[in-house]
Amino acid sequence: MKKTQRVGAIVKILSDSPNRTFSLNYFCDKLGAAKSSISEDIKTAKSIFAEMELGIVETSPGAGGGVTFVPHISDAAIRELQDELCTKLSDPSRLVGGGFLYTSDVMFDATLIKRVATVFARKFRDENADFVTTIETKGIPVAVMTAYLLNIPLVVIRRESKISEGSTISINYFSGSYDRIQKMSISKRALVPGSKALIIDDFMRGGGSIKGITEILSEFDVTVAGTGVVLAGVEPKKKKISDFIPLLYIDTIDTDEKKVKVFPNSQIF
């Protein structure tokens, strides 16, 4: 293999396995080249990622060391993504009954939501969470993409305990959005006591669900390393949790005027 081909192959392999550390030997074996060449190739790959602001290639020396691709999204690309989402979500044809907004097409758009997940992966990587968690259903795509980018497991909290989950722990919590008591449930075998969770969800209004998640996690001695939501309501001002990072905010919908105002969180960087 020539240098160009080796570098291309390294870019592809790293890019497909975010936050996984490869030894130099892995590439030597895979590409049939000497350590000195592979070392140079990795430097080139590193410069490509850096120049295009598509990620950071970290190298650590020594026997336990290796090469890790850390996904990145530039400030400019975050702003572009926020603007794109604001335009999409502010469309008044999204209004459904009761002042609710139809967002499923956006939350289930895999390509778009992977870009959102890259923002969360950038924001929360240094918190060293052991796993990502979300409550079914609409937050699952962004949570699974964040878990993929951070290379950690995903635990999905269910609304009803299912027989295939084995024994579960359940709690009841008050959801302001639906103005009623709701239930959530986690399989006992899903969590490692003492570990750290990153909560990712599609939408937060008063914070009742997220507070519920924090409570059910504490049943397992699991602490929260961070909370990211795609969209947070401006109202109510007083939330049940204080520590969360939304990509976007939404003003309370004026159902008479049929106006939706979604705007970027300018503090996300």
| List of residues contacting its own copies (CB under 8 A) | 1, 3-5, 7-9, 11-12, 15-17, 44-45, 47-49, 51-52, 54, 96-98, 100-105, 108-111, 113-114, 136-138, 140-141, 144-145, 147-148, 151, 153-156, 158, 163-167, 178, 187, 189-190
CA distances from 48 to 51, 67, 149, 173 (A): 5, 15, 19, 48
Residue with smaller CB distance to its own copies, 156 or 230: 156
Nearest distance, CB of residue 211 and its own copies, angstroms? 20
Residue with smaller CB distance to its own copies, 1 or 86: 1
Q: From CA 199, how far away is CA 214, in angstroms rounded?
A: 9
Nearest distance, CB of residue 133 and its own copies, angstroms? 10
Residue with smaller CB distance to its own copies, 66 or 71: 71
Nearest distance, CB of residue 14 and its own copies, angstroms? 9
Residue with smaller CB distance to its own copies, 46 or 240: 46
Residue with smaller CB distance to its own copies, 183 or 243: 183
Task: State the residue for tokens 């609710």.
Answer: 100
Nearest distance, CB of residue 102 and its own copies, angstroms? 5
